[in-house]
Amino acid sequence: MIRVEHISKTYGVGPYATHALHEVDLTIARGEFVALYGASGSGKSTLLNLISGIDPPTSGKIYFEDQELTAMTDTQLTVLRREKIGFVFQFFNLLPTLSIIENVLLPGQLREKPAPGLHERAVALLARLGIRDRHEAFPEQLSGGQQQRVAIARALINDPPLILADEPTGNLDSENGLNILSLLKQLAVQERRTILLATHSVEAARFADRLYQVRDGKITMLASETVLNSLYSSNISPSTASRV
């Protein structure tokens, strides 16, 4: 579904240049849950931004369902983001001026012709995520966990095949964090959505099928699907496993 070929990203020029990513290759299939693990500033978010077409790479190519992102116009990229990608952010990024239901509806209503039954779908999503009764509230009236669930509902409104989650648990307590990760796992397993998770928490990474470490702009596989599946089912964290 996603193919990243030799991409590099450099910010600034000359002596002030910062190499955020260097010659990265990555392939993700439909329905996979892939985690990018690394410290702050390692380049995880940059990779997510490149894959979603928010930022262009300095060199290399990115393919989304065999379409080359780097050759797309701004409008095409916008449509791609709107219809094929759902975003979940660390700080939820809900619009404070819109109610919960309006926030969820937003990406759907940005389409030139909103899909029929959009409102019902939004209500159903909120019900599934356990926050239907708060649909008329405003973001500031919700807890962090609830806000992140709204963000997930918003990410799903256009039924996108890819969910990009950038530190989705970074601003939540551990219980809420685990709930959100379980939810993402469900989306991958039950609905065959592709999840690309950026995290600095190894605990979060155990929900993934594959775990990559991003360090100094380079990417290396840390654990395969088989290892992670066994860790997930045995409830042992990758950090514990690596110590063992």
Partner 1 sequence: MFRLLRLFNYRHLRRRPLETFLCLLGIAIGVAVMLGIDLANENAMASFRRSVEAVTGRATHQIHGGPNGIADTLAAWVLRQPNVQAAPVIEYVAACREADKDALHILGVDPFLEAPFRDYGALSQNSQRHDARSETAAMQVLIKPGAVLVSESFLSKHGIASDDTLHVLVGSQWRALSVVGTIPENLLAQLGFDHLAICDISTAQEVLGKIGYVDRMDLIASAQSIARLRESLPPTLQIFAPSGRTQRVDDMLHSFRLNLTALSFLAVFVGMFLIYNTMLFAVIHRRRQLGILRCLGVTPKQIMGTALLEALALGIVGALLGLVLGVLLAQYTTKAVSSTISQLYVFLKFEGVALHPLLLLKAFGLGMLATLVATALPAYEAASTSAAVAVRRSSLESRAGRWAPKVAWLGVLWLLMAVLAYFFTESFWGGLFVALSLGLAAICATPLLSIGLTTKLAPISLKHAGQPGLLATRGIRAALSRTAVAIAALMLSLSMLLSMRLMITSFRSTINVWVNHILEGDVYLAASGFATAKWQAKIAPELIAFLAQQPEVEAIDQYGVTEFEYRSKPIYLIAISAEVVKDRLRFLFESNASRDNWARVIAGEVIVSETFARRFHKSAGDTIALRTSNGSQVFQIADVFIDYSFEQGQVMMDHATYERYWAPSHANNLGIFLKPEADAESYLAHLRRALAGRFEVNISSNRELREEVLRIFDQTFAITNVLQVLTAIVAFIGIISAIMSLLVERTRELGILRALGMSLPQLRRMVFWESGLMGTIAGVLALPTGTALAFVLIYVINLRTFDWSIAFRWEGAAYLQTFGLAFLTSLLAAVYPLTRLKQIPIAGAMREE
Residues facing 232 on adjacent strands: none
Nearer to partner 1, 11 or 29 (CB): 11
Nearer to partner 1, 22 or 44 (CB): 44
| Nearest approach, Cβ of residue 21 and partner 1 (Å) | 13
Nearer to partner 1, 46 or 146 (CB): 46
| Nearest approach, Cβ of residue 31 and partner 1 (Å) | 23
Binding site for partner 1 (CB under 8 A): 45-46, 49, 52, 54-55, 74-75, 78-79, 81-83, 87, 89-91, 93, 95-98, 102, 105-107, 109-111, 140, 154, 158, 166
Nearer to partner 1, 54 or 123 (CB): 54
d(CA 132, CA 80): 28
Nearer to partner 1, 111 or 192 (CB): 111
Nearer to partner 1, 79 or 241 (CB): 79
Encode the chain in three state secondary structure: CEEEEEEEEEECCHHHCEEEEEEEEEEECCCCEEEEECCCCCCHHHHHHHHCCCCCCCEEEEEECCEEHHHCCHHHHHHHHHHHEEEECCCCCCCCCCCHHHHHHHHHHCCCCCCCCHHHHHHHHHHHCCCHHHCCCCHHHCCHHHHHHHHHHHHHCCCCCEEEEECCCCCCCHHHHHHHHHHHHHHHHHHCCEEEEEECCHHHHCCCCEEEEEECCEEEEEECHHHHHHHHHHCCCHHHHHHC
| Nearest approach, Cβ of residue 42 and partner 1 (Å) | 14
| Nearest approach, Cβ of residue 52 and partner 1 (Å) | 7
| Nearest approach, Cβ of residue 149 and partner 1 (Å) | 17
| Nearest approach, Cβ of residue 14 and partner 1 (Å) | 21
